[in-house]
Structure 1
Amino acid sequence: MGRFDKTLHTTLLRPVRMLPIGLIVLALVLYAGACAYLRQAQERFIFFPEREVSETPATYGLGYEEVYLPLGDDRLHGWWIPADRPDAPVVLYLHGNGINVGANAEHAHRLQYRLGFTVFLFDYRGYGKSSGPFPSEDRVYADAERAWQYLVRERRIDPRRIVLYGHSLGGAVAVEMALRHPEVAGAVVESSFTSIQEMTATQAWTRFFPVRWLLHQRFDSIAKVSRLQVPVLFIHGQRDQVISYTMSERNYAATPQPKRLLLIAGGDHATNAVEGGNLYLEGFRAFAHSVLSR
């Protein structure tokens, strides 16, 4: 082969040799971009708010008061649903990551009508009629704190007459609030998880990303429950396909006494009260009676 042929051969092979390197660089750029996106936009994978409120307490025949709470330049919207007894204990209802208060009106009715609580149910910023930016972990904690101050300072309710109730992600908010306010009577944590990090570990695609480094929305209940100084009732359906009931078992095991665990054999993520029937209602009622009479 002559010198010209060798030069031509080398020239033709160069793009072929460079191709794998180019693909590797492109893959690294895409991977870095995906990591940056996951870190910057992870709230969009956690919160799923809707603005339209489809149901109200009136849908279930309940009287209620519309409440708007200023919070900086924003405001929270909620419903004050009074019990028949003026001295009834109050449930601060912390809903999950989807839809808004409208999807929780039926259960608020159950807590008020069947169990005799006054219920304050509100939307985090970004949900329903609550104004403000898209929700985040810090924001929903601040929103729950604002709701707590409304009850204690504006409604002048003794904290020892308040029971925190949180469903799903709201359960993690209830854990945070119970940690901040050990003066509360107790907390009910239903269908909730140990942490967002452990929730992501159940998703196959997360194995390809450094989730521990990327995650800043943590809702790390399992790291908090050991420090709680209030009674806690954990409720979970054993057919829950969204969050495994074993997460409630682990939270329960890590929580100091007094504590209770109520597992509903036929319950899924949102049907514990329906599937559990009297078992659910009596479990909730017995827990509330014990903590309110302390």
Structure 2
Amino acid sequence: MTLLLSGLRFAFIVYVVAVVALYVFQDRLLLPPAPTVTDIRLGRHADYDVQSWYPRGWYAGYVITPTGRQPIGTFLVYHGNAESAENKQSLAEVFVRFGYRVVLVEYPGHGRRQGTRTMKAALAASRSALSDARAQWAESIFLVGESLGAGMAAQSIRGEESAVAGVLLVTPWDSLESVAAEKLRLFPVRWILHAPFDTVDALKHYAGQVVVVGCELDTLIPVWHAERLARLHPHVQFLLLPGAGHNDWFSSMTADHWREVFRSLQVAPAQ
């Protein structure tokens, strides 16, 4: 009996330590280091121009502008975790070809941006990017978020619903809390998380067009989270990518898929 009680006491201590560690170090778990940054080449490319973005006097990402024509609007792109703005150049090219300006938003502590690498800092930077883009450009603004970035994009809309013309959320969670609870079943996730990052709740007052892209074989954020988000929001167009996983969604997007996205967002190419 004494041995049993000692074992239970030890297990309880280990459990409590694990709970405390999850609470204290969750930013490190949610925002792991990105691979070595490969700088985007600044200046003129074949069809667009790339410049660093300094909306408030300090680096906040990149702005990519189609050459030879006035942009007809702006897409803000929020990247996923273990990434940086430099990883999103190929995605930006999709929107630039339609005649749109693209801002690749960077979070503090990621890529070339200085600062503290926390969810709170990333959210503040995401919201600032939207307000800074509104102040700098008059055309329509669309938000694009992938994985973690989908959560950031959704939270950025709160209180700014009328400023956003449309939203594309790729491999999103319905809430970070629900994903974490699914993976950490033995822990009181609701009390551990600093914030639930509830995308369903963040979009509840948004009346604009929303496109949600889910991947059938997503093991990081299982597709049912994206399906639940789409089911609970009245303005969502859901696009399922059969056979695609969390990290290969972009290569699974066909020309028809992109046409469906643009049609749902009511985006027209520049003339």
TM-score between the two structures when normalised by the length of structure 1: 0.81
1:146 to 89, 106, 128: 128
Q: 1:78 to 1:51 in 2, by over 3 A?
A: farther
The letter for the 1-side match of 2:185 is: R
The correspondence for 1:156, drawn from 137, 142, 145, is: 137
Q: Aligned letter for 2:138?
A: I
Asked if residue 199 in structure 1 is aligned to residue 179 in structure 2, the reply is yes
Work out which of the residue numbers 76, 82, 98 in structure 2 matches 1:98. Answer: 82
Quote the residue 2:49 is aligned against: 63
Match of 1:9 in 2: none
Pairing 1:34–2:12 present: no
Contact 1:57–1:109 (8 Å) recurs in 2: no
> Match for 1:244 among 219, 222, 233?
222
Displacement of 1:231: 1.6
Letter in 1 for 2:153: A
After TM superposition, give the deviation of residue 69 of structure 1 in Å.
Answer: 4.2
Superposed, 1:254-273 pairs within 5 Å as 254-257=232-235, 259-273=236-250
Q: Which runs of 5+ in 1 are unaligned?
A: 1-16
Matches within 5 A, 1:229-240: 229-240=207-218
1:63 alignment partner, SS class? strand
Asked whether the 8 Å contact 2:157–2:203 carries over to 1, the reply is no
Conserved? CA contact 2:34–2:81, under 8 Å: no
Q: Structure 1 87/207 Cα, relative in aligned 2: closer, same or farther at 3 Å? A: closer
Inter-partner Cα distance in structure 2 for 1:291 and 1:221:
27
Q: Which secondary structure state, in structure 1, belongs to the residue aligned with residue 38 of structure 2? A: coil
How far residue 90 of structure 1 moved from its aligned partner, in angstroms, is 0.6
Structure having the higher helix fraction is 1
Q: Unaligned stretches of 5+ in structure 2?
A: none
Counting only pairs closer than 5 Å after superposition, residues 167-206 of structure 1 correspond to structure 2 as: 167-183=146-162, 184-203=164-183, 206=184
The code of the aligned residue for 2:179 comes to M
The answer to whether the 8 A contact 2:181-2:187 is kept is no
Contact 1:58 1:64 in 2 (8 A): yes
What SS class does the counterpart of residue 64 from structure 1 fall into? strand
Matched-pair contact (CA < 8 Å) for 1:266–1:276: no
Q: Does 1:117 align with 2:95?
A: no
Q: How far, CA to CA, are the matches of 2:249 and 2:6 in structure 1?
A: 54
What is the identity, as a one-letter code, of the residue corresponding to 2:157?
A: A
1:232 is displaced (CA, Å) by 0.8
| Aligned with 1:284 (options 261, 264, 268) | 261
Larger Rg: 1
Count of aligned positions? 265
Kindly, what percent of the aligned residue pairs are identical? 22
Q: 1:49/1:287 Cα in 2 relative to 1: closer, same or farther (>3 Å)?
A: farther
Contact 1:179 1:229 in 2 (8 A): no
1:107 maps onto 2:86 in alignment? no
Measure how far apart 1:267 and its partner are. Answer: 2.8
